[in-house]
Amino acid sequence: MSGLNHPPSKSVSTANQSIQPQSYHVNSLGHACIGDMDLTELARTYGTPLYVLDAETFRSMAQTYTSALTEHYPESSLVLYAAKAQMNMGICKLAESEGLGLDVVSGGELYTAIQAGFPLENVFFNGNNKSIDEIELALHHEIGRITVDNPDELALVHKVAQKKGVKAQVLLRVSPGIECHTHDYIKTGQLDSKFGFNLSDLGPVMERITGEYKETIELKGLHAHIGSQIFEVRPFDDLIETLLNIYYNIRENYNGLTLTDINLGGGLGVAYTSNDDPMNVEKTIAHIAERLVAYANNLKYPLPRLMMEPGRSMIANAGVTLYTLGSSKSVPGIRKYVAVDGGMGDNIRPALYQADYSAIVANKANRPFDETVTIAGKYCESGDILIKNLELPAVEPGDFLLVFGTGAYNYSMASNYNRVPRPAVVLIEESEAHLLVRRENYEHVAALDVIPSYLLNPEPKADPAVQ
């Protein structure tokens, strides 16, 4: 992992291609800022580690997706923000204000959307092993679509819908056998995947949907998600052809059944370091839309409503994390470690995916580099390393490290490993900082613990020497 900070300036048209948030700049004090907020002062006010989101970047990406679909796709469309990237009630309201739908993958995410008052007709429920309680929650609140992942789940949705006397609006997620060049853990479209129906399963599934399930299941379309951090458009071309061929065959073989929705997933990449070269979102969406129109016309198939579900590309580069630098250790001839007050508990991705990040010292943002260091976390794991070989100015305890590109999957995957409380989340918009999630404390960490009564007043053990 190499930390490449201060990326070279280049002309960009979409925020996923820039490492920094759109409103990032350095002020006259040499401090990093988002909007009018000095991040050094923000760290002192809210404490560290601290997740910070730039509303301007999120809104820019939302508008890029929606406007590109509106301009290039002649039928209706819906952009679904993939909530697993980062979700709380404030982000739900931010997404709603931009006219986005939500892609949720758990009862907890769905409950958050419900509590936020999000328009539930624009909520799509993905996931590969939904519980009865989750399906009941979704059907009770009449969400937009349930994306069914496998035959067992289809049977479960049928059972719950039959019990409630409703007809579930569903998409079928398929595993299309399309691979993209990304990390193995974030590939999802290949044949050997835990997600989605195998294409060979669709015949028996369609027989059930048009037969014994016809009173409880209304099939609206197909869904496929081929992976994350995708830097090439070709897999989407292959996906469109694969799905539309299935749509055509369903119409031909099942009494003219015409599917009205198509969900092509998300996965467009972002820039974490200057080595990354992600696709321009506007141009990519235009290409996808035009390809879908052309192939549908070739098959003489009516255009379905087109859905995309970006998560990382919507929010990753809107987010940064602030840490306080602490102790250091030099290993002669090898490296210098500098520790921060967070680590794998608030950013598991370097340990899990070998993810790379870029960083600077927020209170020394325009100073020249003096040393190359490795940023270590505070967790009791040798693998708790955030960034290797990061060039920084001379640092000292109390400086603030600013890590870019942490809006996606950092807060979502945060844990209480080592019983460390999770950080707060702050949104910056209109020159103000707005708290989205309060910082946990030790009371929160221990709040659900229960000591069995027999351990509170244990019986004294007999002394073997006395017997």
Domain segments of the chain as ranges: 15-54+316-446, 56-315
The CA radius of gyration of the chain, in Å to the nearest whole number, is 25
Cα 42 to chain center, whole Å? 25
Of all residues in the chain, the percent with pLDDT exceeding 90 is 88
* Six-digit token string for 237: 């071309």
pLDDT band at 6 (very low <50, low <70, confident <90, very high): very low
Asked if residue 250 has pLDDT above 60, the reply is yes
- Under a CB-based contact definition with an 8 Å cutoff, are residues 375 and 359 in contact? yes
Instruction: List the one residue out of 80, 5, 97 whose CA is nearest residue 367.
Output: 5
According to the model, what pLDDT value does residue 179 have? 66
C-alpha to C-alpha distance for 265 and 359, rounded to whole angstroms: 30
Provide the pLDDT for residue 457.
84
Q: 3-class SS at 323?
A: strand
Total Cβ atoms within 10 A of residue 181: 12
Q: Does the structure show a pLDDT above 60 at 180?
A: no
Q: Which pLDDT belongs to residue 350?
A: 97
Using an 8 Å Cβ cutoff, are 191 and 242 in contact? no
Q: What is the dihedral of CA 77, 83, 84, 87, to 10 degrees?
A: 170
Residue 404, pLDDT > 90, answer yes
Q: What is the CATH number of domain 15-54+316-446?
A: 2.40.37.10
CB 171 within 8 Å of CB 221? yes
58 phi and psi angles, rounded to 5 deg: -60, -50
Q: Do domains 15-54+316-446 and 56-315 have the same CATH topology?
A: no
Cβ atoms of residues 272 and 19 within 8 Å: yes
- Taking alpha carbons only, the member of 291, 268, 290 closest to residue 280 is 268
Question: Sorting pLDDT into bands at 50, 70 and 90, what band is 229?
Answer: very high
Who's near 28: CB < 8 A, 6+ residues apart?
none
DSSP letter string over 206-217? HHHHHTTTTTTE
CA distance 140 to 144: 12
Nearest Cα to Cα of residue 179 among 253, 118, 232, 215: 232
Predicted confidence at residue 191, as pLDDT, reads 60
The one-character DSSP state at 421 is P
Specify the fold of 56-315: TIM Barrel (3.20.20)
Tens digits of residue pLDDT in 140-163: 999 999 999 999 999 999 999 999
Q: Give catalytic residues, as residue numbers.
A: 380
